[in-house]
Structure formats: C-alpha cells, structure tokens
Structure 1
Amino acid sequence: MQTMPTSVTNEHPAGFPGGPRLLADVGGTNARFALELAPGNIGYVHVLPCAAYATLAAALRAYLGLPDVAAVAPVVRHGAIAIANPVAGDVVRMTNHHWQFSIAQLREECGFEVLAVVNDFTALARALPYLDLGEEKRQVGGRGAEPGTPLAVIGPGTGLGVSALIPTAAGWTALQSEGGHASFSPINETEVEILRFARREFGHVSAERLISGSGIELVYRALADLHGVPAEPLSAADVTLRALRGNCLLCDETIESFCGMLGTVAGNLAVTLGARGGVYIGGGIVPKLGERFDRSLFRARFEGKGRFNAYLSAIPTYVITAGYPAFAGVSAILAERLGDR
C-alpha cells in the first residue's frame, strides 16, 4: 500500500455539516482514496492495490479502517467513487479488473447515506477547470484556450479513458464516454502492419488495444514481428524505461508509435467536439514520459488533419501532472448530489 503523507490545511476551517466525505478514484490496478474534511480540503490519501482485495467493499473498508483515517473520520456518511468502467444502472462490472458490485449494496454495506459512483474520466473531466498551469498541468503546443468552448480529456493507463466538459448555461456538463473503445484507424503503413498483427489475437482492435499499458506491449511485439527480430517478454514499464534510457531502438520506436497514435486520436477528439478550450492528456503513462513526449510525434499527429491543420494548431494540449486530479472532480459531483454547491 502506498501512502501520501498528509498535512491538512486550515484554508477551509469550517467542516461539512455531515462530516468528512470519502473520495475515491478506482482504476484497473490501484484504488486511490482520500477524505475531504471541508470544501477543497482534501487529504489522508492512500493508494491500495486492487489485486490485494477480493472486492471494492473490502478495499474501501480497509481504507476507512486505517488508523490515521479512522482517527479523523470514525463515521463517514457521504462518498463519491470514480471508477474505470461504464456506470449505467446499479450493477457495475469492471472491464480491466474482476471487481463487480451493486451500488446500492455497497452503500449499505459500508454505511453510507449517499454514495455517488461515476466513470473515472467523467470525474476527471469535471476536475479540468480546477487544474493550475505549471503546478498541475503543462502545455505541449498550441496557443491559448478559447473561453466558453468544450474541453476534452483522454488518458492512456490500464485502459484508454475519454471524456469532455461541455459548457452550458447552468455550468459544465461532463460527457459519459467510452471513446477508448472506438475502432483503431491506422495512418501509415507501419500502423497498418501493427493493426494486422493485433487482429491475429483480437477480432476488434479498438484504440485502447494499442494506446494503453497493454497496448505498449502489443505494439512492441508487433514491431518486433515487422522487423523480423525476437521480442523479449517486456512489460510496458520495461519498454518505457528502456526507451527513456536510450538503450533499445525497438523500445524507442514503440514509444514513438504510441505517442503518434495518441496524437491522432486526440486530434480526432478535438475536431469531433470542437474542443478549442484544450485537450488534456491524463492517465498514468504520459506524465512519466516527460520531455520524451514533448519531442515525440504527438503534436504533429494531433495537428495532421489536412485542411484542418490550422484549426488544430491553435488548440492547446496539456499533460495533467497533478498527483490525484480526479478527486476534485468527484468532490464537485458529490457536492452537487448533496446540494451544497
């Protein structure tokens, strides 16, 4: 279990009438938990590996039972969970992990009065307006964001999350999207060969199949096959590390292909939504690439839409660098559910 040492600020000394609130961001690999003690005052962050717990309820109870958490919040009545999965109805079955649960039963089992469960990228989209440039996001290309226009977010990690924030007269509306499962479309001959390789294993090759952690591994094997060289049994982390160290040309080509494909899909998202407010890159992979991402094909492929090159060249793209950006989003969603914001 990973823990982030927390010093709770006193910027918002007045707590919630209903007591501290649980915030969670659950992915296919890790479940991140926090307490919100007052508006904007988020702390007591712990990261629990999903594989260590049979159910989400077990992970949630383990977090609430941690000594530092239990000391400040012996009772938690209100919570919000962002989860890497579609949320439609009461039953949630995770795509990239074995957990499944009833929202109503989870609320009752863990003693919540109100429990909101939303898609993780819906929550991340809601967090976008709260991210500070320089501290929580960095710009990679483009010019200034156009006020009053949609914001888009895409993020490769265990899967490929997609969402957007649409401005309305009543405020922002986050889209509940599963855009990562749209069909992958190759742009050049190398990507045609990657697609052919992937089709040997999968009947349908989505963008997520290639632009994700497991996708990096698949692209590495496909390029090895294309070049007629043996593929080592490398994880996505291994491929990334070797590429960053500069001691594996095949690994570097894999990361370059990954960044290029992400650029194309992000550009598609921008023109589809008219996201002149910016396209944000979340997930756990891209922030770790650092400067390698900035000098990759990403931005050229993002802008490479023929007659719409000038349109896309103006749209800024941002890498989200905040440690736990979804917490601000689920906090806003829960506050609306409770009617206090």
Structure 2
Amino acid sequence: MAPSHSAPSLIADVGGTNVRFALVYNSLLLDEMPPENVASLTCADYPDLASAMRAYLAQTAPPAPPSRAAIAIASPVTGDRVELTNNGWSFSIAALQAEFSLTSLSVLNDFTALALAVPGLGENDVLKIGGGAPARQCPIAVIGPGTGLGVSGLIPSDDNWIVLATEGGHATLAASDARERAVVAELARRFGHVSFERAVSGPGLVNLHDALAAIDGAPGNSPTPDQVTQAALNGSDAICVEALGIFCALLGTAAGNLALTLGARGGVYVGGGIAPRLGDALPASKFRARFEDKGRFRPYMEAIPTYVITRENSALFGLARLLRGNAG
C-alpha cells in the first residue's frame, strides 16, 4: 500500500501504440524497488496524453495528486511543443505541467530514459550475446527496435553519466550482401531515403517481408509485425523466416556502427519491444557476426559485449532513477 503521507511522482513511457504509467512514492527508495501501480493504456483510445494521464490517475486513485512527473516519448524533444512521431499526439510541456499542477515535469526521448536505466541493471535483467567483459569508465551504447528504432548512449563523467539523446535510427541503412542490396533498392523505390528504422523496427519487419515478396514475385497482403515474427519463429513461412533473419543481421550492423561511433567498450544494450521476445532466435542469427564484421576493427568489436535488456518496463525504471537522483 502506498504511504498516504507522500505525494507520488508520475512516470510515463509513451510509445507509438501504448503508454505505460507508474507511480513512484518516495524519492529515497532503493533502485531495486519497482514502481507501483504500473498500467498500460492504448494510445488510440485517448485523444491526447492529458486524457490518458487523467484516466490512469482515476484508475489508480493515489492518496494525493502527483507532485512531479517524468515522461519518456518516442520522439525528439527540442522545445516546449512536443509532436509524437508515431501516434499523432502533441502537447505543450508548460501547459501539461500547469494542467496537473506539477512542481516539475521532465520530458525526454524514450531511449534516453532507457539509457538512464542501464547503469542500474543487474545480470538477471539482461541476456548476454557474445563479447568479453565490459570495460569500466567507457561509453555504453543503447539501441532497440520497437515502433521505431531508438538509439542512445551513455558517456562516463566522473561518478555519473551523460546521456546522449539521438535520432540515429534515421541514419542511412547499409546493405552487406546482394540480397540486402536488392531489398534496399525495393525500399528506396517505395520510400526514397532508406533509414535503418525502415527495416529494423516493427513496421520495418513488415517492410522487409513485403520487399522480399515483391522481389520474389510473391506479393500478398502485408502481415502485422507480430504475424511476421510468429511465422518466422515457428518456421511456417519462408519469407517471414528470411525477413526476420535480415532484420537481426541489420540490427547487428546498426549496433556495430553505433559501437564504433561511440567507442562503446562498456557494452551495447539492445532494448525495445521486439528483441526480448525473440528468445533464442537473436543469438542464433547473424546479429553478433554482423556486429563484429568491421574489417580491420574486428578484434576491437569482438571484445565488446552485447546484451539484450530483458527487464520489463526498463524505460520506467530509468525515469524512476532520474526522479530519485541516482541515474548515474
């Protein structure tokens, strides 16, 4: 039961499809204490974020209105006006803070929030895929496919971390073999610029399926990302199997590029909504081989560990760490 004498802090992770809320009741609680009253609402059921916030607070009925809030969104944050890329919501940070009478409101990119969680993750919160031990006091990379492709990083600074908010998912996709080049050509015909997000995301998985179907002369109805994933994992559809294989390989390429760019000898962490659900398929794929395939820098890459973040609601965990003042 929440302590009645303490006004909670509200944390929210706003994705393209769902928004997850939780309440944090005491800024002095240990990191290991999970946020209370976690709930997931469907974005399409609400006209805007404020409506979803009101619905969540009505459901949970905290003993006092939230005094502070921290919100992670799947979009860049460059000023007071926030436009959510993947679900159509928009809001003013100042107006939202005033509407809920908050003493403070932090709004940050969702992968910035995920990056804030990484220093607090334990060995039971991740699945290691290759590499050696993480180098201490070295940059850490965070990448993950979901509704989009999130990219972030952590740079050590004394006893804390500087979090990089980036839009690296929109970097130009690089193909590594003839089949991938054919897929990129098909995606370029449809979209013009082909970013990694066009292939390494939930919608990207469907794009890969449809591109392969078009190349092979087997067009049909576009499946959902979940349908592609399930058909690939159970081996019931050859195009889905190949699409997921290319997806994992390109994720490895993108993760390797990020590791080189940041000098991420502290490790590369893969989050998002897709990778943790792939089970053994990601370790068995070309993900790690493609990650290491950097020519003369192969020995450098072989030493860098890669991890899949398996802890649920990791972005909320990062927001809780932010509010508790121990995100480093």
Instruction: Check whether TM > 0.5.
Output: yes
* Alignment partner, residue 37 of structure 2: 44
Structure 1 counterpart SS, 2:190: coil
- Equivalent in the alignment of 1:316: 305
1:184 equivalent in structure 2? 173
**Residue by residue, what CA displacement relative to the aligned partner does 1:291-310 show, whole Å, maximum 9, x if unpaired?**
01110000000000011111
| Residue identity (%) | 48
Contact (CA 8 Å) 2:200, 2:250: kept in 1 or not?
yes
Tell whether 2:125 aligns with 1:125: no
The alpha carbon displacement at 1:170 in A equals 4.9
Kept in 2, the 8 Å contact 1:220–1:231? The answer is no
Contact 2:116 2:327 in 1 (8 A): no
Which range moved further: 104-113 or 268-277?
A: 104-113
CA–CA separation in structure 2 for the residues paired with 1:332 and 1:117: 14
Q: Which of 18, 36, 44 is residue 30 of structure 1 equivalent to? A: 18
Kept in 2: contact 1:23–1:327 (CA 8 A): yes
1:173 and 2:166 matched: no
1:246 shift after superposition:
1.2
Query: Which residue in 1 is equivalent to 2:91?
Result: 101
- Give the equivalent residue in structure 2 for 1:78: 68
Q: Name the structure 2 match of 1:260.
A: 249
Give the SS at the match of 1:197: helix
Shift of 1:252: 0.6
Q: Is the 8 A contact 1:61 1:110 kept in 2?
A: no
SS state of the match for residue 172, structure 1?
Answer: strand
Note closer, same or farther for the CA distance 1:137–1:73 as it changes in structure 2 (3 Å cut).
farther
Deviation at 1:109, TM superposition (A): 1.2
Partner of 2:184: 195
CA contact (8 A) 1:116 1:334 kept: no
Gaps of 5+ in 2: none
SS in 2 for 1:124: helix
2: distance between equivalents of 1:335 and 1:178? 26
Q: Deviations over 1:305-325 (max 9, x none)?
A: 011111111111000001111
Aligned residue number for residue 3 of structure 1: none
Q: For the Cα contact (< 8 Å) 1:279–1:317, is it kept in 2?
A: yes
CA distance in 1, matches of 2:298, 2:158: 31
Kindly provide the amino acid, as one letter, of the partner of residue 103 in structure 1.
I
- 1:175 match: secondary structure: strand
Which residue is 1:20 aligned to? 8
* Pairwise CA distance, 1:334: 2.8
Aligned length: 323
Moved more, 40-49 or 151-160: 40-49
Take 2:186 and 2:50, find their aligned partners in 1: how far apart are those partners? 39
Q: Which of 260, 266, 278 pairs up with 2:267?
A: 278
Does 225-234 or 186-195 show the bigger shift? 225-234
What pairs up with 1:144-155 in 2 under 5 angstroms? 144-155=133-144
Deviations 1:107-135 (A, max 9, x none): 111221211111110111011011111x2
Equivalent residue of 2:131, what SS? coil
Rounded Cα–Cα distance in structure 2 between residues aligned with 1:35 and 1:121: 20
Deviations 1:181-236 (A, max 9, x none): 11111111111111111112212111101110110111001111222223343111
Aligned AA (2:266): G
Name the structure 2 match of 1:91. Answer: 81
| 1:78/1:113 contact within 8 Å kept | yes
Task: Please give the root-mean-square deviation of Cα atoms over the aligned residues, in Å.
Answer: 1.8
Query: Using CA pairs below 8 Å that are at least 6 residues apart, which structure has the higher relative contact order?
Result: 2
**Equivalent position of 1:4 in the other structure:** none
Task: Report SS of the residue matched to 2:47.
Answer: coil
Q: Which amino acid aligns with 2:23?
A: L
Q: Which runs of 5+ in 1 are unaligned?
A: 1-6, 9-14
Measured against aligned partners, the alpha-carbon deviations of 1:235-255 in whole angstroms (never above 9, x if no partner) come to 111010011111111111000
Which among 279, 291, 306 is matched to residue 290 of structure 1?
Answer: 279
CA contact 1:23–1:331 (8 Å) conserved in 2: yes
- How far did residue 155 of structure 1 move? 0.5
Residues 21 and 38, structure 2, Cα contact 8 Å, conserved in 1: yes
Kept in 1: contact 2:117–2:327 (CA 8 A): no
